[in-house]
Amino acid sequence: MPLARRFTITGRVQGVFFRESTRRVAESHGICGYAINLEDGSVEVLACGEPDALDQLAAWLQEGPRMAEVARVLAEDVNWEERSGFTTG
């Protein structure tokens, strides 16, 4: 059964291709949702997909792309949303 999880990633995560890299990883695991920059400098990711795929994305978010410096990843389960694709709004 698909799940939905919202992640908030803090650290040096804006201006380092974090959202685009997240999109590529998410799509490779069949995850739909979005990655957006927040005003406080963090990135929010909504991921909707199979539990194993969400776990793999969560592990990747701990490191992020090469130029990122991830300080913390907060995750919370949220209500499932039917979405098409993965956007980087």
Residues labelled catalytic: 19, 37
What is the length of the chain? 89
- Whole-number Cα distances in Å, 5 to 19, 33, 47, 53, 66: 16, 10, 5, 11, 24
Domains and CATH numbers, the chain: 3-79 (3.30.70.100)
Task: Please report, in tens digits, the pLDDT of each residue of the chain (89 residues total).
Answer: 789 999 999 999 999 999 999 999 999 999 999 999 999 999 999 999 999 999 999 999 999 999 999 999 999 999 987 888 999 98
Contacts of 77 (CB under 8 A, 6+ apart): 3, 4, 5
Ramachandran category for residue 2: left, alpha or beta (phi over 0 → left; psi -120 to 50 → alpha): beta
pTM for the full model? 0.95
